[in-house]
Amino acid sequence: ELPESAKDIPLVKVDVTNPADLEEAAKSAKVILNYAGTPYADKGLPVVEACTNNGCCYIDITGEVAFVKSSADRYDEKAKETKSLVVHCAGFDSIPSDIGAFMAATEMKKRHNMACARIRTVVGNMSGGASGGTLESGAYMLDNPNAENADAMTKRYGLDPPGGQAGPDTGDFGSISALGYDPDAEKWVMPFVMAPVNVRIIRRSNALMGYPYGTACSVGECMEPSFLVESHPVVVYFIFFPVELFLRDTDGSKAKKIGLTIRASGLPRHFSSLQSKVDDFCKHVDLHLPKDGKKVVFATAWLATDNVFVALMRKHFPEILTGMNLVAIDTLHLFPTALECAKLVEEKYAKKAMWKLPNGISTKDEFIAKYGDCEELDSADFDFVSKVEPFQRALEECEKDILITGRRMDQAAQRIKLDVWEDQKRTLNPMANFSWQDIIDYVDKEGVPVNAGHNWAFRCDAPIEATSRHLPDLPWTKVDLGKPFWRCSEAEIKGSPPAAVTYVFKSFGDMHTTVPVEPHESERAGRFVRQAKTECGIHTRTTFAGAPHGGSLVDLMVKDAATIQSLTSSAVKTIELNERQVGTVF
């Protein structure tokens, strides 16, 4: 029975085989919802034509790829001319997949300023079945293999608009072609019957929007075997590499709007809660570190992640924190607020650091007198004398067996495959699986001290190139927000009247190579600006092809010459680290 609000809507009988009837209907309507295909390829195109002729919007629930392709080929230009919006596949095929991929890619861009390498959808147990129209559409496609645009279903990018860039996909189901184990989903999966439709819609959306997901983004869809999962309406995970992504939708409101239920249990590690990551942190510390903390070294730069590590250790492993070595490097070019933050951390968690400076130098003036201004000194040379050599000296003075770092997978492209435990290098990266959001959530929850520079906002009327943001007397207004920018609303950050562009500090290195970035940019987007590299050389190589290996830690932490040689010879894979650097790393 129709609801009261719909009872006054007139019922109009339209013969879809009669062009005059269709034209009249399209002229009198703003939107036509075409819910009956039987199949769409047989009677749907005249309806689309009538809508595009008259500026009427059109929506259907087809799953017929060839029909969608024919519609786009025939009526796209006319639709643009009359401003008619034509939306195909707006039912279960393919709203969850299409909107889900869009949400995932949008969140990736927002959090990490990166495109996606892979987008994977895993469908769980479903209720419902195929309608008669669906079965008839399927039968039509099987019976008409030579129909117009039938090959759109066999071509991986068959729905892309003219001039589209084909990506890396050679299949529709991700990494599997039959029942198999999917390493992204970390579970057994099998092909999903609607994947050939849904992934082509996702690829088309990406192409139509100018490839915001990435021109080399791989799209795949599969499903859990029904006997392995609980009973849920529809369960979809959006899992992609290289960096972790956790969609913060705790009440499921976003998911409900697009007809999804995102299960909170059994998620892969990149989707787990902050508490589960803390639990994982404790597991690895308990497994790899001695109970007295002896022969353990932690290198800190007093960044938020480093400070959270110290806070976690004081709370969960106070004996280990007391016994371990905390090493800090003062390059003599740090932000004053970094040194202030260091004092706060040392005092709050009762842990003094072993401070190291450039060899034989105690002031910035002495550094300049010996090596020249930092602008004149080669960046690799600067990092060696101010960071790498002092750190090597600290490690040589310590009785060491295990090194701890605060590196995270989501910080940079060269860290995306970071392991929590690197056995050959005797290095523990206990924060590897934490995200930037996890870090600031823990900071706020536990009152962890952070650099006061996070309180600054730089408001300006027009964008300023990152390579110029270190210069003095820039056309912006520096404002102290009184609290870290992530605790402020957008209106608070932009001010009144709102600034056209606002920059904040998300990370801190040396003053001459660190600049503020827009709040949505990645954490390290403002680091090593104007440099040909994005790492200092302690963990990862800093020069191009020909450098001996990935970082000074190989020589300092690896136990034997044979392993050093093995690691050295393995550093031959050239990868694109980011838009500024191509180098060779492990």
Residue 156 near residue 166 (C-beta atoms within 8 A): yes
Query: For 124-154, how does the pLDDT look when each residue is reduced to its tens digit (9 = 90+)?
Result: 766 555 555 665 666 666 566 667 888 888 8
Average pLDDT value for the chain = 80
- Give the model's pLDDT for residue 580: 27
**13-22, 125-134, 259-268 — which one is most confidently predicted on average?**
13-22
- Give the model's pLDDT for residue 166: 83
Higher pLDDT, 191 or 145: 191
- Give the model's pLDDT for residue 131: 57
Higher pLDDT, 515 or 525: 515
pLDDT at 405 over 60: yes
DSSP string, 64-119: -HHHHHHHHHHHHHHHHHHT--EE---BTTBHHHHHHHHHHHHHHHHHHS---SEE
- Give the model's pLDDT for residue 216: 84
- CA pair distance 255, 236, nearest whole angstrom: 10
**260-269, 336-345, 420-429, 522-531 — which one is most confidently predicted on average?**
336-345
Burial annotation 567-578 (CB, 10 A radius, 16+ → b, else e) = bbeebeeeeebb
pLDDT at 443 over 60: yes
Give domain 278-411+420-446's CATH number out of 3.40.630.10, 2.160.20.10, 2.102.10.10, 3.40.50.620: 3.40.50.620
- Give the model's pLDDT for residue 325: 96
Q: Give first-to-last CA distance, the chain, whole Å.
A: 65
pLDDT at 474 over 50: yes
Vertex 453: Cα angle to 406 and 500 (nearest 5): 115
Query: For 284-300, how does the pLDDT look when each residue is reduced to its tens digit (9 = 90+)?
Result: 999 999 999 999 999 99
Dig out the tokens for 138 from the structure. Answer: 């399927």
pLDDT at 411 over 70: yes
Dig out the tokens for 530 from the structure. Answer: 């104007």
Least confident of 133-137, 203-207, 570-574: 570-574
Least confident of 224-238, 345-359, 417-431, 468-482: 224-238
Give me the amino acid identity at 349: Y
Structure confidence at residue 415 as a pLDDT band (50, 70, 90): low
Percent of the chain with pLDDT over 90: 46
Residue 288 buriedness (CB in 10 A; 0-12 / 13-18 / 19+): middle
Helices (H), 317-402: 318-323, 336-348, 364-371, 379-383, 389-397
Residue 402 near residue 377 (C-beta atoms within 8 A): no
- CA pair distance 532, 516, nearest whole angstrom: 18
- Give the model's pLDDT for residue 180: 76
Q: List the chain domain ranges.
A: 4-87, 94-265, 278-411+420-446, 452-552
Helix (H, G, I), strand (E, B) or coil at 107: helix
pLDDT at 445 over 90: yes
Query: For 66-88, how does the pLDDT look when each residue is reduced to its tens digit (9 = 90+)?
Result: 999 999 999 999 999 999 999 99
- Give the model's pLDDT for residue 236: 35
Structure confidence at residue 335 as a pLDDT band (50, 70, 90): very high
pLDDT at 173 over 60: yes
